Amino acid sequence: MRPFDPALLRAVPQARRPLGVLAAVGVAQGVATIGTAFALSSLVVAVVRGAPVAPAAAYLVVVMVARAVLSFVGETVAAAAGTTVSSALRARLLDRWLSAPAEDRPGSAEAVTLAAQGAASVEPYVARFLPALVTAAVVPTLAVVTLAFVDWVSALVVVLTLPLLPVFAALIGATTRDATERRWGALADLSGHFLDVVRGLPTLVAYGRGERQVRTITDVSQRHRRATMATLRLAFLSSAALELLATICVAIVAVTVGLRLSHGSVELGTGLLAILLAPEAYWPIRRVGAEFHSAADGAAALASALPQVSRAQPAGREEPANRPVSDAAEPPSPGKPGNWPKTVVVQGLAYSYPGSSDRVLDGVDLTASTGLTVVTGPSGCGKSTLLELVAGLRTPTAGAVRAQSTHLVTQRPFLTVGSLRENLTLGTGPVSDATIWAALREVGLDGVVAAQPDGLQTPLGDDGRGFSAGQRARLVLARARLADADVLLLDEPTAHLDDESAAVAHRVILDLARHRCVVAVTHRRELLSLADHHVALRATAAAPGVPA
């Protein structure tokens, strides 16, 4: 967890311009700070000596206005930079995970924590800590150099005492890093456990295990609370320690100046200037120490996120060599794929889950073309994994997969919180309402949707809430009907349907198979009897399977 990682500028190019502006503003603020010290000391000397104060007062007003403008610009740019970088980092993370195979993605708990809490915590890191870091790199140097020309004794005192602040800040920062990592780990555990509980809540309630999970979540929450309070306690104590150390250092400068003023060895203007410049050498470092605590979560999040977004994008799957390229080939439109042959070729396919040497699939061969290919086998033998490999969501351990554009319907398909129309056209080009209603009519949902108050604009709840499991299964079949993919991969498409609804779904699948390559995993003998081709997977040692 470094204070600033240059990889941020490479991974999130949107951060370059605002950070450059913040650096320029920081330098200008440093110069204005030095100017303020000269203007204020000149005004005080003029008042004491009875000289005209108008020039010094005008100079002070100009400098103060300049500092106010620079402060406003810095705060505005910093706030905009924080929002921009946070949003861009979240978008890069999601884009990276969506384009990566399943083996190259983080676990659900880590992903949720990083994309939600982690990306949000980057905002104060960029908006507050980085500007403070720039100021700390500029202002103390300008203050010490100016002091060396004005009063070398005070400059010597500052040079000897100033390194104490970074040393103590580094020691405190190391402790803060450990506390932040513990808090981050506790937050990831809490997020992951809560997510797992929400996913399995119906099963837990059905078996009477819900109350036990309440106690478990309470224990994890208390662990996160204790880690958070320990981090806050450390932040307050360290800020007080840095303040005390800086105050003592400034007091040493003030005492030496006062003693020399009393002996007449230094002029009043020079002494005032030294006393005014000394705090400016310590203040930026104190501010960095204070802001680092509020931005520690952002630094920890960046340490986890930057390696994710900096990884090379996975290579795409190989397109089949027999796909024709001709002006006569009509480009696909929603629900009407192109007229070239639709094929899936799997040769010697093997796959092992990450961290395991056992193969859940081993030596699988499959050739599917336009029509319906049904895959069967005992539960747990890798049927769903086979579809994910064909869809390019996983990378084979051995063997080769060649497939054209695919559309995968999983056992638990994704339904976003949006309108029915948005869910039906997800990943598809512009589709007319007439085409959507035709697809709904084919799956027997036109009456259900027409009865909704807003029709196609009816919003869905989380995970399709508002529709039954069977209706959701038919809804995603309608979405597959509208997709412009050449290959449709269906994982247990009728698992949640009664016999009558399953018969409707089978008719839709057969109609899709007339013009596309449809590969369906099923346990239903009715669908198997309609298949053009049948592939039976066998259980391996790693996946012994459960007889279906």
pLDDT, greater one: 110 or 37: 37
The C-alpha atoms of residue 18 and residue 24 are separated, in whole angstroms, by 10
pLDDT band at 30 (very low <50, low <70, confident <90, very high): confident
Tokens of 480: 């597959």
Q: Which residues does 292 contact at the CB level (< 8 Å), separation at least 6?
A: 3, 129, 169, 173, 176, 299
| Between 169 and 72, the higher pLDDT residue | 72
d(CA 77, CA 67): 15
Position 334 scores a pLDDT of 47
Q: Give the chain's length.
A: 548
Burial group, residue 23, by CB count within 10 angstroms (0-12, 13-18, 19+): middle
pLDDT of the residue at 316 = 38
Is residue 206 over pLDDT 70? no
Most confident of 1-5, 123-127, 175-179, 338-342: 123-127
How wide is the angle at C-alpha 306 spanned by C-alphas 304 and 308, nearest 5°?
A: 80
Work out the burial of residue 326: count CB atoms within 10 Å of its CB; fewer than 13 is exposed, 13-18 middle, 19 or more buried: exposed
Note the pLDDT tens digit of each residue in 461-493: 776 677 777 788 888 888 888 888 889 999 888
pLDDT at position 320: 37
Look over the chain and give the mean of its residue pLDDT values, rounded to a whole number.
77
- Cβ burial of 221 (10 Å; 0-12, 13-18, 19+) is middle
Q: Is residue 78 scored above 50 in pLDDT?
A: yes
As a whole number of angstroms, the distance between CA 75 and CA 69 comes to: 10
Q: Is the pLDDT of residue 310 over 80?
A: no
